[in-house]
Amino acid sequence: MTTPSTPGDGPLDPSLSAIMSERRQLINLAYRLLGSLSDAEDVVQETYARWYAMSAQRQEAIESPGAWLTRVASRICLDLLGSARARRERYVGEWVPEPLPGSTEWIDGHPGGATADPDDPADRVTLDESINMAFLVVLESMTPAERVAFILHDVFRYSFAEVAEIVGRTPAACRQLASSARRRVRASQAPATPVTRQADLVRDFKRAWEAKDIGALVGLLDPGATMISDGGGLVSAVLRPIEGGEQIARYIVAIADLAPGLTIVERTINGQPGLVAQHDGVTVTVAAFDAPGDRIKHIWAVRNPEKLRPWTAEPQRTPRTAPDREAEKS
């Protein structure tokens, strides 16, 4: 979304700069709520459209524009989450959250002055943890209200009083929603593996894949590993999860046989080590990994080209995030 123009050729209105400075925070929030960067950008665009549709008098009467923008964006996301399940029932094959290139630009947002309840547990999710693929997949199992309450409170540190105003329930009800969501997250969590160890496992997986070494791949995969491929009905992809380390290894090698000239590169995907497959310099698959312990437990391979736009815009360079591109326009 481009920055709205203002009459005249003078310097940018300070109040306009303050409003637009909230954009990155809003995208950070909306992405975690929706699992889609493209949808998050649409939400932020709609949020700003509603702000600029108000008269100057109404805008001036709002004590905290940043809080107003957050409330509106969160409510739009809540509505979208309510309809997302019906849309995904019609989705061809498995649905995987949209992968993000890199991580730095997506973990340094701050809650913009929101205050968490002082009696809440101290082990809340941090911003960098809240974008890894395994975490986003768990969020998909939550109800819309659970997801919004949990992300706003446990990740972005909003108080339950503020969450209640957004969700339309009492603070006590929002506390229960966040607690239920927290239990889901904890039930799915495995002991953390150091990033360096994860990177070694993914690198070894890459080498074994390139060598078409089924035995080495099986050794890197948990016997109960699962691989999910998301093509969205737009490109070829397995419509059901592949279960078992050996089955995944054989499938991976078959892909290498069917796609000669495929280049596999190491990339940071949602803050974690991952692999990107390119054909003629164009990204065709982004694979995120979950590797608790010493073996790979889950692989999420995103092939849907609509979810790979941030990766295909500049195939020969490290992809930039949407906020980077917007900054260059301004």
pLDDT by residue (tens digit) across 299-324?
Answer: 999 999 999 998 975 433 333 333 34
Average pLDDT over the chain reads: 84
pLDDT of 7 > 70? The answer is: no
Query: Computed from CA positions of residues 63, 67, 69, 72, in that sequence, does the dihedral angle turn out positive or negative?
Result: negative
> Per-residue pLDDT averaged across 104-114, rounded?
36
> Per-residue pLDDT averaged across 199-216, rounded?
96
Q: What pLDDT score was predicted for residue 16?
A: 64
pLDDT of 55 > 90? The answer is: yes
- β-strand 221-230 against 272-279: which pairing, if any? unpaired
How far apart, in whole angstroms, are the C-alpha atoms of residue 324 and residue 37? 14
| pLDDT tens profile 229-245 | 999 999 989 999 999 99
Can you state the angle between helices 171-188 and 160-167, rounded to 10 degrees? 100
> Per-residue pLDDT averaged across 279-290, rounded?
93
Q: What pLDDT score was predicted for residue 159?
A: 95
| pLDDT range class, residue 280, cuts 50, 70, 90 | confident
Token pair recorded at residue 83: 């309809």
**Residues composing the chain:** 330
Q: What pLDDT score was predicted for residue 21?
A: 80
Q: What pLDDT score was predicted for residue 326?
A: 40
CATH topology for 195-325 is Nuclear Transport Factor 2; Chain: A, (3.10.450)
Which residues of the chain form CATH 3.10.450.50?
195-325
Q: What pLDDT score was predicted for residue 128?
A: 72
Residues of the chain above pLDDT 70, percent: 82
pLDDT of 276 > 90? The answer is: yes
